[in-house]
A and B are shown apart, each in its own frame.
Chain A
Amino acid sequence: MLKSVYNWIDERLDITPMWRDVADHEVPEHVNPAHHFSAFVYCFGGLTFFITVIQILSGMFLTMYFVPDIINAYKSVDYLQHKVAFGVIVRGMHHWGASLVIVMMFLHTLRVFFTGSYKAPREMNWIVGMLIFFVMLGLGFTGYLLPWDNKAYYATKVGIQIAASVPYAGEYIAIFLQGGDIVGAQTLTRFFALHVFFLPGALLALLGAHFFMIRKQGISGPL
């Protein structure tokens, strides 16, 4: 059944070469943990992506219950966690994944650093990687405010104060992030928009560039 559906589509659109081209590539021996166990360090990039996928999926489902409003945000998170079936798990995935994705990204960066993979011709991918790093930090920072509890509120206050200490532009950055003079209703809606639309959009674009360059340039050679 599935096979005939596939064939029916393939006859019309010739999709086989497309996915072949994406999927068929050699995994060099020096990055294959089955050959040298220590090559597991080459998995960190993939693991970072795996957790990113979990973040995006669990985040999309969280928005089915979450309300970005200062009166209801906390109540909606409380509700989705304690009253909705598997709420603990879905929110737990997003909550712990947010930290784990940073850990994985850090380990991946260490691997790239110590294998010297940032060197020519892969400089641009290091830069794109750094941009991904900052977008991830942005996702963590904006997501942290959303439950609108005391921890969220004060973490954001401190974070915005740090941003406000930037010479000259600091005050404007703070007002822009807060959407006003205080951390309040308009901060929550802004952070929500950044967290679920702007930053994930930027993240996906950067990941696309990251993976495109990896396919174009291949994995860097053995040490």
Chain B
Amino acid sequence: MREEHNQEAQESGQLPKKSRREMSRRQFLSYTLGGTGAFMVGVPLIFNLRFAVDPLLQKKQGTDYVKVAKVEEISEVPQAFKFTVHQVDGWYESEPTMEAWISSDQEGNIFALSPVCKHLGCTVNWNGSGDYPEQYFCPCHGAHYTKDGEALAIAPAPLDQYEVKVENGWVYLGAIHANERV
């Protein structure tokens, strides 16, 4: 601080003006030490930060289609089908069981809904409550949904949908995405 005041005094006072702006010893030291310090912390941090955010930058692996049911089995009344998918979670690979409510609409289009309630993630059932016939019902806080998955109460969004593919008389299910029917 004091040095800076002196410099000001030099500029305004009778002392001969310096031709070039000189860096004070203190400024020089704080720039070099600060720079070295920043380098010593920053360079290691670059690698560590990239390491930490790796999941954000990894390519999404596409979901494979899984054979779930015969086309003949599907009716206009939703039925639950269980199937397993291959799941890779870092170094841990597993075959978790999934569930889908599959039905067809009046035009015969087959669609599959995820049973995961869009309120807080419990599991819904078709005709799960006598109070809401012909609807999906969630026992946890009473959300209910139409056959297309449209939320009628509690839940803020319609039930998610599975990607559906029909091939050689079989229904295949793929990735889960937001409902496109309502």
Contacts and interface: CB of A to CB of B under 8 A. Distances in A.
Contacts of B92: 70, 184-185
Contact of A154 (B55, B87, B90, B121): B121
Contacts of A158: 120-121
Interface in A161-220: 161, 172, 175-176, 178-182, 184-186
A175 B89 contact: no
Contacts of B89: 180, 182, 184-186
Nearest to B96: A182
Tell me whether chain B's interface is mostly helix, strand or loop, or mixed.
loop
B55 A180 contact: yes
Contacts of B120: 158
Contacts of A186: 55, 89-90
Contacts of A176: 53, 55-56
Nearest to B156: A165
Interface in B45-96: 53, 55-56, 58, 60, 87, 89-92
Q: Is the interface of A mostly helix, strand, loop or mixed?
A: helix
A91 interface: no
B55 A175 contact: yes
8 contacts: A158-B121, A176-B55, A179-B55, A179-B90, A180-B55, A180-B89, A184-B89, A185-B90
A95 interface: no
Contacts of A180: 55, 58, 89-90
Contacts of A178: 55
Given A70-B92, A178-B55, A179-B90, 12 more contacts: A172-B56, A175-B56, A176-B53, A176-B55, A179-B55, A180-B58, A181-B60, A182-B89, A184-B89, A184-B92, A185-B90, A185-B92
Contacts of B55: 175-176, 178-180, 186
Contacts of A157: 121
